[in-house]
Amino acid sequence: MRNILCRVERLSVAYRTPAGMHSALKSVSLDIMAGEKLAIIGESGSGKSTLALALTGLLPAEALIEGEIVWTGPGSAPLPGRDIGIVFQDPGSSLNPVLTIGEQVGEGARHHLGLGRRAARDKAIELLARVRLPHPEQAVGAYPHQFSGGQRQRIAIAAAIAAGPSVLIADEATSALDTIVQAEIAALLEDLVQTGQMTLIFVTHDIGLAASLADRIAVFRTAELVEIGDAGSIVNTPQAGYTRQLLATHIDLDSPRLVGASDVR
């Protein structure tokens, strides 16, 4: 039996836009359990990233927030970057092109763990080895453009876990990658959360990936939580028509490519 790590209670988020308020989440309530792998799935624009940003406290200033996010663990709300690591879809945008890999991966350790320059560099090498980047000793002195997309995502993950967070949020972290690299990054995330005893919140539009990786799946559609449950129940006995529709077609929600239902594990 897992403990509740975080309670999301009637969370609504609306963005102020020149055209008026745009509702991105409508009264969403769910619990996040300590140590679980929770997949957030739904079509593009359904509010998945808004939820990820709300959990990390990184929503932009134009976001109007109602409801509550209550962290039930000991101490105060977790600090983004230290207690919650986040990895985004495009590692190109989260990595700074003019800083070395070592500086970027070591930054979290310097800032949150108070390590000096040398110790942070050693920590960066250790983290790069942990995300299985080849030749970590050389990599610390290299720049982002010297790596492939999959390698950059490994580097971004190393930076996200530098301060030893208890929660890792991956927002479409594998979506921009080739299928094989996608599977490798998914396996890496699974391994990291298991060995680091982290809670993984995994945003994806790929229900097949969610089914194979997650303990529980939350299904979103146009700003609302459609249903949430054990991955097995969601896949085998979905309650909502929308989830059944997703499973029946198993569409990769952001592209017109159709994938056979046999791919759903």
Where along the sequence are the contacts to Mg ion (CB under 5 A)?
A: 48-49
Closest to ligand ADP by CB, 89 vs 104, is 89
45 is a site residue for ligand ADP (CB under 6 A)? yes
Sequence-distant (6+) residues with CB within 8 A of 262 are: none
* CA 154 – CA 128 distance, rounded (Å): 8
260 is a site residue for ligand ADP (CB under 6 A)? no
* CA 253 – CA 43 distance, rounded (Å): 5
Q: Which of residues 6, 31, 47, 247 is near ligand ADP by CB under 6 A? A: 47
Contact 253, 220 (CB under 8 A): no
Residue 227: helix, strand or coil by DSSP? strand
Closest to ligand ADP by CB, 45 vs 229, is 45
Minimum distance between the CB of residue 254 and ligand ADP, rounded to whole angstroms?
8
236 is a site residue for ligand ADP (CB under 6 A)? no
26 is a site residue for ligand ADP (CB under 6 A)? no
Closest to Mg ion by CB, 24 vs 109, is 24
Sequence-distant (6+) residues with CB within 8 A of 264 are: 207, 208, 211, 235, 247, 250
Q: How many CB atoms lie within 10 A of CB 57?
A: 13
230 is a site residue for ligand ADP (CB under 6 A)? no
Residue 239: helix, strand or coil by DSSP? coil
Q: Which does 50 bind (CB under 5 to 8 A by kind): ligand ADP, Mg ion, none?
A: ligand ADP
Segments of 100-198 assigned E as strands: 167-171
Q: Which of residues 5, 28, 46, 123 is near ligand ADP by CB under 6 A? A: 46
Minimum distance between the CB of residue 28 and ligand ADP, rounded to whole angstroms?
11
